[in-house]
Structure formats: C-alpha cells, structure tokens
Structure 1
C-alpha cells in the first residue's frame, strides 16, 4: 500500500499548515486560496487516518494470508470440496440445451464414478 495517500500524510503536513496560517496575509486572496486547499488536504488525509484507525489489517485483500486462503478455497472449489457431484447440467443430445438433473450415480469432478458403500451411498472422505 505504498501508493495509498493516507500512508503519506504525516504530522509535518499539519505543522506546515499551522506555520503558513501564522505567516499568511489575511487580505491576500492567493494566500487564502492556498491555505484553504491545504486545509482540505489535511482534513481529507486526517479523515482517512481516522477511518483507518480501527481497521484490521488482516482483512486486506493483499496480504499473503488472504491470498493463501483464497488459493486453498479455489482448489477445494474445483474439487467440489471433496464431495461427489450428484446434480449436473446434462444434454440429451449434442444440439440440445443443458438441463439440471440429478445423476443416477454420483461422479467426481472429472466424471469418474464415485465409490459407493454397500447400501449405494457415496463414501465421503473425512
């Protein structure tokens, strides 16, 4: 997050604003416009800082922990979380529209038959 403006705002910016406020001529329009622009910048940056004060960095989408968790979830999702596929979009013919149907026998994500127990129920890996 090096490019984030809230991380670039420092106490020096606030001090610089106070210093300019002391030195600025109240009758000079350009100086007052510059001061107002500086106030807006400090207000915006300190507002961001205030909003981020209670933020949990672990919730960021750029942390290595989040990326690893997302990778694990995606891998498990591709494998149907270790469960058999019992419903699928099935085409009766090559030209027909796929329809969602319950399969007669459960399969894995690659279409291979899922192992069944003696009663015909899928054996789940625990």
Structure 2
C-alpha cells in the first residue's frame, strides 16, 4: 500500500481514482471529490473540509477522522465502508451507499429521515 502521511491536499480530485492507498494524519482542505472512484483505501487521523470526499468508492476504512460540515454529501454511491471512532459533522452524508458500518461515530448534525438499504 502506498502511504500519504501528514499532507495538506488541495485542489479538485486530489487523489482521484486511487487504489491500495493509506492516508494518515492528513487534511483534504479544499477541492471537490478528493478520493472519487478510489478503492482499497485506509484513512486514519485525517480531516475532510470540502465537498464530496468519498463518491463511488469501494472498500474504504476510516478511523479517528473528521468530516467537517462543508464535507457535505460525502459518501454517495460507495460500497463497503467502515467508519470508526470518527466525527461526521457534514449533512446529507450517505446516499445510495451499500454495506456501511459505523462504530463509535458521532453525527451531531444528523437529520432524522428515512433509512433505505443498509
């Protein structure tokens, strides 16, 4: 696995279509869709500060990380994602995602709604 550690990532699609990647102690500061269409990604101690961080992704593990409020619509069309010990401040986080596992995740801005296919 390639390691991206202690990086400030900016710009649209910063790590687009990545495979077999570990992102650690990093920040996705701006730019939409930084990991769009990526697979086999492990993320830990990382901050997402802008929109659409994990669209169309597969096999994702997120630990000890934060999706800030502007990381809205963050996890759409993604399959097989585990998030643990993390904070999701962003609204509208999940849509048409499959195989989602959340362990010790705080979602202070979650809105009650209809839950479809989990």
Question: TM-score under structure 1 normalisation?
Answer: 0.18
Relative to the length of structure 2, the TM-score reads 0.19
RCO higher in structure (CA 8 A, sep ≥6)? 2
Larger Rg: 1
